[in-house]
Amino acid sequence: MRRALATAYAAVAYLCFLAVIVWAIAFLADVGPVTTVDRGASAAPAVAAGIDLLLLAVFAVHHSVFARPRVKRWLVRAIPARIERATYVLTASVLLVLVLWLWRPIPVVIWAVRAEPWRTVLWAGFAAGWLIAIGSTFMIDHLDFVGLRQAVTDRRREAVFQARWLYAVVRHPLMLGLLVAFWVVPTMTWGHALFAGALSAYIAIGIRFEERDLRAELGEPYRRYARRTPAIVPGLRPSR
């Protein structure tokens, strides 16, 4: 019974995760009937920027704090292990919903590419970014990533170093995909640039902390991997 309830809870969290990812894609593509990066409740640019940065900060703090090993150990004591990861996924999804729902656009255009085939090329790049980001979770363990495996088995997979698929090209393909999706669009407004810039800065900071944790957890195999594989940009020589 406990396993069934945990599995149901994780399944709900996963469905919320899928729904908010679809919304995020539509949000950045500026399509759909709900709030998008360039359509929503209006506010003065300075006010809009303040609200948007506050929303993004809350979302980023959640990710930063709950991703730290010390907090993870506390969560394991406070929350049943079966649903610890699913709870993280659910709360992250709810916070992202708040960002998308309460976003205040700043629709002043920085660039707008309307000529073909370049506009289509940029949309293809946008789609490729999302495919890279989502696909990278399947290149490790998607079920573990979203918390379904833990709910069913009452345990996480042991950390095993693997450098396959895109992970053989860059160390953080998920972040690479998100950066491409944030920036490769045919129309860029100040509001979109604020969203992309703030989360790009957060990704840069987050990678530094994640690298430290991975080196501590996986040891010398990961350090050798890091010496030969760039973090984000394919083909870029890694820093020593």
Q: Is the pLDDT of residue 1 over 60?
A: no
- Residue 237: predicted pLDDT: 75
Query: How far apart, in whole angstroms, are the C-alpha atoms of residue 89 and residue 14?
Result: 7
Determine phi and psi for 238, rounding to 5 degrees: -65, 150
- Residue 68: predicted pLDDT: 62
Give the SS3 label for residue 89.
Answer: helix
- The pair of structure tokens assigned to 23 is 């919304």
Query: How far apart, in whole angstroms, are the C-alpha atoms of residue 37 and residue 191?
Result: 7
What DSSP assignment string belongs to 157-218? PPP-----GGGGT-S-HHHHHHHHHHH--SEEEHHHHHHHHHHHHHHHHHHHHHHHHHHHHH
Q: Residues with Cβ < 8 Å from 198, sequence gap 6 or more? A: 52, 53, 56, 60
pLDDT digits (tens, 9 = 90+) for 19-63: 999 999 999 999 988 899 999 998 999 999 999 999 999 999 887
pLDDT digits (tens, 9 = 90+) for 169-228: 999 999 999 999 999 999 999 999 999 999 999 999 989 988 988 898 888 989 999 999
Q: Is the pTM of this model over 0.85?
A: yes
- The pair of structure tokens assigned to 56 is 């993004």
- The pair of structure tokens assigned to 64 is 């930063």
- Residue 49: predicted pLDDT: 97
